[in-house]
Amino acid sequence: MLSSRIFKRSFSSSLAQSLTALAFIHYQTLIITIQQGAKVAVLGAAGGIGQPLSLLLKLNPLIEKLSLYDIVNTPGVAADLSHINSRATVTGYKGAESLGEAITACDIIVIPAGVPRKPGMTRDDLFNTNANIVKTLAEGVAKFAPKAQLLIISNPVNSTVPIVAEVLKKHGVFDPTRLFGVTSLDVVRASTFVSSLKGMKPEDVNVHVVGGHSGVTILPLLSQTGIKLSQEEVEKLTHRIQYGGDEVVKAKDGAGSATLSMAQAGARFTNSLLKALSGQKGIVEPTFVFSPVAKKDGVDFFATNVELGVCTFA
């Protein structure tokens, strides 16, 4: 059974030095010229993250077709969104038997499907339930859309991304340049928390966050921001960035997790990928990917900044 234990080890000094030295992992992806607009699918579209994410994607002018899939309530979500006067046409698909139709010919598939966290739960506590959900969806992707770019939001990302990779390998269609764990929210939170503390504009604060997407595996590189921070500030900020999701879960008092901010982060990454697939250069996003840099130290997947588009490994 795969789990987030792949990150529960001390990073060697050589790995730490490599990560410090590298600004980006230059990741090679297949570029697709999107002239007529992209087809994007959201799997888990009726859920707490899926609904606001679908709304944000409906507003994206680069998307021509928006395919919404879930096991319940999807037709209603699709009908609601279809009344918005933006470019994308929306189609809802309900039930396992419609998964193939929902994802066929997709350029990008985003997966926020799964159960949300409740008070007292960590992302890792979601493993048993969400692992099975993601595995089932990955089987469908392998069969009906093996060339799609695949964005994983379902927690725990540290585990769900490797699970998807193993499913794709089993079917002989694994391409590490097409599989992304969405960790943008960690960077968004880091920028927000640091700028708030220092009275700066969030857009002026750039914090690289590496590692994973759960608790202590989230490693904000605060020393590289160029912003003067005391040791106490660094420790408090690091803890808040690592456990920012807990803040939201507690504040919602059992009614949900960080759905809105995660939806925004997912839409941001999707938009960046769409731009890269359209041929734009210099598109960089943090993401949890198969990492040849970290693999030599025993870590197959790692979150770091990735330049999307056609380039070669650094």
Which of 251, 276, 308 represents a domain boundary (last residue)? 251
The CB density around residue 176, as the number of other CB atoms within 10 Å, is 17
Q: Which residues pair with 210 in a beta bridge?
A: 219
Q: Does one domain contain both 122 and 137? A: yes
User: How large is the average pLDDT for residues 48-59?
Assistant: 98
Q: Output the pLDDT for position 35.
A: 54
What is the total count of domains within the chain? Answer: 2
Q: Does one domain contain both 75 and 217? A: no
Q: Output the pLDDT for position 28.
A: 43
Q: Does one domain contain both 79 and 161? A: yes
Q: Does one domain contain both 94 and 161? A: yes
Q: Is residue 16 part of a domain?
A: no
For residues 27 and 276, what is the distance between their CA atoms, to the nearest angstrom?
Answer: 12
Which is nearest to 105 in space by CA: 86, 84, 91?
91
Q: Does one domain contain both 119 and 168? A: yes
Q: Does one domain contain both 195 and 70? A: no
Range with the poorest average pLDDT among 85-99, 104-118, 134-148, 226-240: 104-118
Q: Does one domain contain both 50 and 155? A: yes
Question: Does pLDDT of 255 surpass 90?
Answer: no
User: How large is the average pLDDT for residues 121-127?
Assistant: 77
pLDDT in tens, 273-288: 999 999 899 999 999 9
Q: Output the pLDDT for position 272.
A: 97
Question: Does pLDDT of 308 surpass 60?
Answer: yes
Residues of each annotated binding site for NAD(+): 44-50, 70, 130, 153-155, 262
Q: Tell me the CATH number at 168.
A: 3.40.50.720
Q: What is the mean pLDDT of the chain?
A: 88
Q: Output the pLDDT for position 163.
A: 98
Q: Does one domain contain both 134 and 246? A: no
Q: Output the pLDDT for position 123.
A: 66
The CB density around residue 295, as the number of other CB atoms within 10 Å, is 12
Q: Does one domain contain both 42 and 126? A: yes
Q: Is residue 262 part of a domain?
A: no
Q: Does one domain contain both 179 and 132? A: yes
Give catalytic residues, as residue numbers: 213
Q: Tell me the CATH number at 222.
A: 3.90.110.10
The CB density around residue 195, as the number of other CB atoms within 10 Å, is 17
Question: Does pLDDT of 189 surpass 90?
Answer: yes
Q: Output the pLDDT for position 125.
A: 82
Q: Does one domain contain both 171 and 208? A: no
Q: Output the pLDDT for position 18.
A: 52
Q: Output the pLDDT for position 15.
A: 53
Q: Does one domain contain both 73 and 202? A: no
Per the structure, the complete domain to which residue 89 belongs is given by: 36-183+268-290
Q: Output the pLDDT for position 6.
A: 33
Q: Is residue 312 part of a domain?
A: no
